[in-house]
Chains A and B, each alone.
Chain A
Amino acid sequence: MDPLTISNISVSYNKQTVIPDLSLSLPRPGIVGLVGPNGAGKSTLIRAITGVTPISRGKIYLGSVDLLKLSALDRARRIAVVPQHAPMPDNFKVQEIVMLGRTPYLPIWQNETANDHAVVTRALKQTNVYSLKERFVGDLSGGELQRVVIARALAQEPDVLLLDEPTAHLDLKHQASILRLINSLTTVNNMTVLLTMHDINQAAKCADTVALISHGIIQAYGSPTDVYTSERLSKVYDTQVEVITHTDRELPFVTIYDNLQ
């Protein structure tokens, strides 16, 4: 299977280097959690992979395909993004929004084919929003909306799905259901999934592998148990943290060490 290989990329914004030299390999299928402090370069890395932000050096390969040499349309057929803050036109219906995910496959003058409708129906069903397809997106709850955005990304039939803070602003029940959905993407869709998360405990629960990033550099990469050591996290987050191991699940649990009271 084709892994996503990022080798020695460097990204700058306004002459300021955000990512100096970063290499990362993402397995397929597989879920990698990208964790790190604010401003560490998580969103920049996602933008670099999608081509929205140009990279000044390095290579990104999907299997043997050089992503940087692909046209924007070809890249959009392989890589889809679920952004953290996305404008949503309230007056579009759910199925119209999901259909926009077919854009990379449609020449500008051509309308959707039966196959496009079939792909959209599959995406709506997999994300459990099929019953909402005639609803206006402006009428949806936060949890429903997030599923619709994921459905739109699935309609792109990508090999790689990038999710930026997919559970932010959701309550516990909806967080759990979004995480279950993301988990199914590797088994059902055979995808490479990269997700950024502020909540590093949730990342540990959801991802097989985590990458800890700060100052645009991957500080550690591996299983949550290996990556989450109190010494490393305290240094990266510049805060004293404590790592406890869940007795029954063998998962690390990270908490702030300071007694805040």
Chain B
Amino acid sequence: MLNSPIASSLLLFVILITAIILGVAIGSVPIPPRIIMDLILNRMSITNITIEEISKYSTILFDIRMPRVALMALTGAALATAGATYQGLFRNPLADPYLVGVASGAGLGATIAITTNLNSDPLGISIITIAAFAGGIITVGIVVMTARVSKTTPVTTMLLAGIAIGSFATASTTLLMLRRPDGLQRAFNWMLGAYLGGGWTPVKIMIPYMVLGSLFIFINARALNVFQLGEEQAQQLGINVERLKIILIAAATLMTASAVAFGGLIGFVGLIVPHALRILTGPDYRRLLPCCLLGGASFLVLSDLAARNIMAPQELPVGIITALTGTPFFIFLLRKLKRSVF
């Protein structure tokens, strides 16, 4: 365990930078790091190198690789941070960002868009994305309202409502797919986290959700620590429990919904990254949450790198990679650890 919060954040920051460099350098057309450097300096108008060899990489770097790596970093950061938040809020180590119905709702939204052959691209992004985002938010709204018992939202009721309404949405998704088998492949790919492109637009749309969501979560990090003593004790320590729950659920849900909308249903990141990092940083949410932001980003950038390259030219949905690599790593950590992580 790294005791210094600065040391663990610094280590994760170095890992993230390395992951990003690898992510933009490696691909069907490898870009040497030296050229990446020149191109970035050129773009920032610090240098002005106009060699043919360099400019042919420009489009690949700035219009294809960079936005994709940035999107993956944001998605991973969102899922890991939301996952840690839900685990703390529900005091349940099995909680993940999809727990309260975001995933199944987003899945239903995306499937409706795919099977009804909606093909317009308002805002320059796929309608699938918009439908997924709306589906996720609407479903969580229904779950929270269902679980509300006279001004309070008991955690267990909320989990059960999430499971029930999530199952309903999943069943509806399956029904739609069976009725329109021509959309099956696309819907299936989206669900496993196939990259849909879109250049920098998804990144620009995601950033406000990320900034706002993490801001609300980070300022409540110490309250999340108090929450580990149970709701009643948190209340006796002066925490406004109901308000905190709503703020954190809203923040984590917005982050998750934007991640799911652009990245599809990428599993394991929100569950495994926070647990792996707890082993590194300890349980204090003030240390854990920033580490989740960095660690989640690195994990997804590296997973996406693998997804693009191991079966090239065929691209794998990144969800397959996160599950295949995340699970053995997690089992290794669990076996090595003597105490319970959570």
Contacts and interface: CB of A to CB of B under 8 A. Distances in A.
B339 A80 contact: no
B33 interface: no
A101 B339 contact: no
B37 to A, nearest CB: 38
Contacts of A87: 91, 228-230, 233
B236 A100 contact: no
A104 B340 CA distance: 29
B292 interface: no
Nearest to B283: A91
A83 interface: yes
A52 B339 contact: no
Nearest to A110: B222
Contacts of A106: 222
A138 B339 contact: yes
B341 A81 contact: no
Interface in B72-93: 91
A86 interface: yes
Contacts of B282: 91
A92 B236 contact: no
Contacts of B223: 103, 108
Interface in B180-227: 219-220, 222-223, 225-226
A76 B238 contact: yes
A199 interface: no
A147 interface: no
A171 B152 CA distance: 38
Contacts of A80: 236
B239 interface: yes
B236 A91 contact: no
B149 to A, nearest CB: 10
A76 B236 contact: yes
A76 B237 contact: yes
Nearest to A96: B284
A167 interface: no
Interface in A57-72: 71-72
Given A86-B229, A86-B230, A91 B278 contact: yes
A108 B226 CA distance: 11
Q: Which of B91, B236, B342 has most A Cβ within 10 Å?
A: B236
B239 A103 contact: yes
A81 B238 CA distance: 12
A108 B248 CA distance: 14
Nearest to B218: A109
Contacts of A47: 232
A74 B91 CA distance: 26
Contacts of B226: 100, 103
Interface string A11-44: 0000000000000000000000000000000000
A92 B220 contact: no
Given A136-B339, A138-B339, A138-B340, A108 B219 contact: yes
A91 B233 contact: no
Contacts of B222: 103, 106, 108
A118 B233 CA distance: 23
A73 B283 contact: no
A87 B88 CA distance: 13
Interface in B325-341: 339-341
A208 interface: no
A156 interface: yes
B235 interface: yes
Nearest to B150: A14
B229 A88 contact: yes
Contacts of A74: 238
A111 B225 CA distance: 13
A50 interface: yes
Interface string A99-130: 01101101011010000000000000000000
Contact of A104 (B232, B238, B278): B238
B240 interface: yes
A50 B342 CA distance: 29
A156 B233 CA distance: 12
A231 interface: no
A133 B229 CA distance: 17
Contacts of A100: 225-226, 229, 237
Given A51-B236, A96-B284, A103-B239, 13 more contacts: A50-B235, A50-B236, A52-B235, A87-B228, A91-B342, A96-B283, A100-B237, A103-B226, A103-B237, A103-B238, A108-B223, A136-B339, A138-B340
Closest 5 CB pairs of A and B: A76-B238, A73-B238, A89-B228, A87-B230, A104-B238
25 contacts: A52-B235, A71-B238, A72-B240, A73-B238, A75-B238, A76-B236, A76-B238, A83-B232, A86-B230, A87-B228, A87-B230, A88-B229, A89-B91, A89-B228, A90-B339, A91-B278, A92-B228, A92-B283, A96-B225, A100-B226, A101-B237, A108-B219, A138-B339, A138-B340, A139-B339
